Structure 1
Amino acid sequence: MFGSGRFTTDSAAEGLVAYLSTSPSPFHAVESTVRLLEEAGFVRLDEVDVWPTASGRYVTTRGGSLVAWSSEQVGEGAFTKASAEAVPGFRVVGAHTDSPNLRIKPRPDHERAGWQMLGVEPYGGLLLNSWLDRDLGLSGRVSVREADGSVGTRLFQCDEPLLRVSQLAIHLDRSTNDGLTLNKQAHMEPHWALSQVPTFAEWLADQVGVEPLDVLAWDAMTHDTQAPARTGLHHEFVAGARMDNLATSFAATTALLDAVENPADEPVIPLIVLFDHEEIGSMSERGAFSAYLPTVLERIVSTLGGSRDALHRSLARTVIASGDMAHATHPNYADRHEPAHHIAMNGGPVLKVNTNLRYATDAVGAAHFAAACRQAGVPMQEFVVRSDLPCGSTVGPMTAALSGATTVDFGAPTLSMHSIRELVGAADQAMYAAALAAFLAPRGA
């Protein structure tokens, strides 16, 4: 499978570049994903509607989160049969759409030393220094009062270099190179003008085509305006913003598109779930710690004629792969990595293991992911954090706890994680998607 069709290095890397460019916010990432799925025949379902009982390809969204699946492979009446072996399970790939950034406060407008400033609040664990001296745009969604008095939401994306957080000159702080200390309140506010400017609400109203008084609220955030690009002497890398975790979101989407065209040997339902709010703990109505995925799984089984008992039997046969980016071994800080588990860029997908279950991987889940890599014909690497360093986490453990399904954590090698501009391997993106396609559509040896 690897090396052909949508899984070539060039097609995967260039597809990722295009996806990142249209996905500056979680809300835009969802719409970018929906467009790709709709081109392949997926039908968008609204949560408030009655869902169709016929098998098919479907996608549903909730803010910055998305679930997409195909029930074409399971056949009519699959969930009404008495035999436990006959009830299909789900094959799930999970990722997240949000990334660390600077988000606009509700009352952001103020002046300081003659500069027009915007108040921001850091979102997630961003590398603060990487946001200094960058040209920043704005994107997100706006709640507006429509002409009929109802409340609607509109997306906006402005890639113009509007904002900048300027660093203090070294002449005014000779100790900067000995260790830069940034205060999130005092030092991270961007400036965008000298002269009097419209309020942020007035500027936003113009962006979405309403009157300023009709702007009710916003989820607005900054993004780097430098475009993602192939880099390196041999163009073997992709550099850009939001690789963590849109690289996984794109790979999962590409994998699902392949899995519905090349289904598994046995009846399974391939499904991807892209959660918002992973970077801040996932505790929201659309995060991984919510009822979003369990509710959608239950509705899928129900619309296909299954009972709640059939749902739980299906979950017992379900395997979830939780995808988030993995730390490639840094050439300048190799001592910060576990010596026996160095991770090579362009070395293949990474199985992530932590005995304290910061990752959900156990031996059973690891075997499923290893089998997928073998089926796809790609190498698999194994990541373990140094025993004397804290380990990050993913949506994997909480998804496993809420579903009761076997879960495995994986990723793709990355440098500069949580920087405004991250780095991944071009060949890794093709191998990543190929492994996930094999996971969603497992086949016998």
Structure 2
Amino acid sequence: MSPQPRAFDRKHTEDLARFVEASPTPYHAVATVAERLTAAGFRQVAETDEWDAGAGGRFVLRGGAIIAWYVPDGAQPHTPFRIVGAHTDSPNLRVKPRPDLGSHGWRQVAVEIYGGPLLNSWLDRDLGLAGRLTLRDGTTRLVATDRPLLRVPQLAIHLDRGVNDNGLKLDKQHHLQPVWGLGEAEDGDLLAHLAGRAGLDPDDVVGWDLMTHDTQPPAFLGRDEELFACPRLDNLLSVHAGTAALTAAVARDDLPYIPVLAAFDHEENGSESDTGAQGPLLGNVLGRSVHARGGGYEERQRALAGSVCVSSDSGHAVHPNYAERHDPTHHPRANGGPILKTNVNQRYATDGTGRGIFAAACDTAGVPFQHFVSNNAMPCGTTIGPITSARHGITTVDVGVPILSMHSAREMSGSDDPHLLASALKAFLEG
């Protein structure tokens, strides 16, 4: 499909930039979503409390995952769901249990590789640290450095003369430990530094989930600002679009479905956790929503049978320098609209039925869309789509925005595409 006339909504993409900057970790991302949902009239409910049957918006938080839904007036126990699924995590470097490391007069931080990052993209960048600290009383506190703190310095070319000819080879254990000062390892005390910045007594901190993030702010690129560079586009772009779509869709009072946003953690390492798509969180929330409206097993099964999920995750735009790596007849372009992702081996969940549902949503929204399929000689990635479809028996379609530099510390999309995706998701949620 050829590119369409631009429908650039700068305010939407600028808001995406603010959303990403406020969300350096999955825990911050769900807090940012919760703040926006609360402003839109949603209220948080606890999983340990009894849920009521009234109309309105609700959400539950668990770690780096959030599930939000809106019950319209007159919803029946068997009313189907329309679900936008996404994930809050991105590949990065995460702090080990004993973080303080050092060598030859440099203080360093011991990190572990999370997901499948482009390792070289983390070299020579000004990195921050963010995450959550767990206190002795069981509560958690979000923490994020407001300035660059770390750097993974690359070896100078004078000490690796063949690097440009032979390729950069990085040892994950030895070459990716960031520096954050001068001195010995015992002088570091990273946790004490972060606890102090959060106004906490270091002795009260008994656990942590900390990770690095690129501190360079998002930016518009190109002569006409038609490109958008940003960390964590995979997949905070979809989380942001889903949040915008949900809060816009609930302005209607005649919704025929119950719209849902399901943003999971741990997609980048297989989704197998209590906050991942493999876990029971979404099924529990949908089932309890049915039960709160007086339904039982029969009504739950009827609701799921009529439900549809759009799994929204970033996909690959055709790379101008490596076009041969793409399928020769499927070349998604930036600012050409969202992509429908298909794989006959079910790495993506899209089939003809799902394709028709999403095409209808795009048509309603006046949004162009494109098709993506992998080159047969290249292994295909996967998403939460097949997991959601298989686990809950829900018709699922995989979509996304085409980007370059996927899994880099900094990725790039067209500046139109975030708004085009959000518009399509809004039309999908409205049925």
If the TM-score is normalised by the length of the shorter chain, which range does it land in? Answer: over 0.9
The residue that corresponds to 1:30 in the other structure is 30
* Partner Cα separation in structure 2 for residue 159 and residue 380 of structure 1: 38
- Indicate the larger mover: 47-56 or 395-404: 47-56
Q: 2:125 aligns with which of 134, 154, 157?
A: 134
From 197, 203, 207, the equivalent of 1:217 is 207
1:188 partnered with 2:188: no
**CA shift digits 1:101-121 (9 cap, x unpaired):** 000000011220110111000
Q: Secondary structure of 2:378's partner?
A: coil
2:399 to 407, 410, 425: 410
| Aligned residue runs from structure 1 range 65-80, under 5 A | 65-73=65-73, 75=74, 78-79=76-77
Show CA shifts across 1:74-129 (max 9, x none).
Answer: x15x12xxxxxxx3210000000000000000001122011011100010000000
Question: Matches of residues 160-239 of structure 1 in structure 2 within 5 Å?
Answer: 160-178=147-165, 179-195=167-183, 197-239=187-229
Tell me the equivalent position of 1:111: 102
Q: What amino acid does structure 2 have at the position aligned with 1:108?
A: P
Query: Post-superposition shift, 1:8?
Result: 5.6
7-16 or 332-341: which moved more? 7-16
**Aligned equivalent of 1:243:** 233
1:378 to 367, 371, 374: 367
- In structure 2, what is the equivalent of residue 152 of structure 1? 139
Deviation at 1:198, TM superposition (A): 4.1
Relative to structure 2, which stretch is displaced further, 164-173 or 234-243?
234-243
Between the aligned partners of 1:435 and 1:394, the Cα distance in structure 2 is 19
Secondary structure of residue in 2 paired with 1:20: helix
The one-letter code sitting in structure 2 at the alignment partner of 1:138 is L
Amino acid at match of 1:354: N
Q: TM-score, normalised by structure 2?
A: 0.96
SS of the equivalent of 1:294 reads helix
Residues 96, 275 of structure 1: 8 Å contact kept: yes
Question: Deviation digits for residues 380-423 of structure 1, max 9, x if unmatched?
Answer: 10000001110000000011011101010001010100000000
Shift of 1:193: 0.5
Unpaired segments of 5 or more residues in structure 1? 1-6, 80-86
Q: Is 2:287 the counterpart of 1:302?
A: no
Q: TM-score, normalised by structure 1?
A: 0.93
Pairwise CA distance, 1:211: 1.6
> Quick one: structure 1 residues 229 and 194, their matched pair in 2 at CA, closer, same or farther if it must change by over 3 Å?
same
Alignment-derived partner of residue 3 in structure 2: none
- Deviation by residue 1:39-83 (Cα, 9 ceiling, x = unmatched): 11011111112222212111111100000110024x15x12xxxx
Task: State the shift of 1:307 in Å.
Answer: 1.1
Q: Check whether the contact 2:107–2:188 (CA below 8 A) recurs between aligned residues.
A: no
More off after superposition, 274-283 vs 190-199 = 190-199
Partner of 1:41: 41
Q: 1:244-283, aligned counterparts within 5 Å?
A: 244-262=234-252, 267-283=256-272
Query: 1:349, 1:53 → 2: CA distance?
Result: 35
**How big is each residue's C-alpha offset from its partner over 1:326-376, in whole Å with a ceiling of 9 and x where there is no partner?**
100011111111111100100001000000000001111111111111111
Hey, what's the Cα distance between the residues in 1 that align with 2:55 and 2:292? 9
Are 1:109 and 1:200, in contact at CA under 8 Å, matched by a contact in 2? Answer: yes
| Shift in Å, 1:233 | 1.3
Q: Is the 8 A contact 1:24 1:139 kept in 2?
A: yes
- Give the aligned partner of residue 345 of structure 1: 334
Which residue number in structure 2 is paired with residue 356 of structure 1?
345
What is the one-letter code of the residue matched to 1:170?
A: I
Displacement of 1:210 in angstroms is 2.0
Deviations 1:219-266, CA, capped at 9 Å, x for gaps? 0000001011222211112111000000000000001011101356x6
| Distance in structure 2 (CA, Å) of the matches to 1:346 and 1:262 | 28
Which amino acid counterpart does residue 80 of structure 2 have in structure 1? G
Q: CA deviation at 1:195?
A: 3.1
Contact 1:12/1:426 (<8 A) preserved: no
Matched residue type, 1:223: H
Residue type of the alignment partner of 2:223: L
TM-superposed deviation, 1:316: 0.5
* Cα distance in 2, alignment partners of residues 209 and 304 from structure 1: 43
The answer as to whether partners of 1:378 and 1:435 remain within 8 angstroms in 2 is yes
Letter in 1 for 2:35: R
Aligned residues, how many? 422
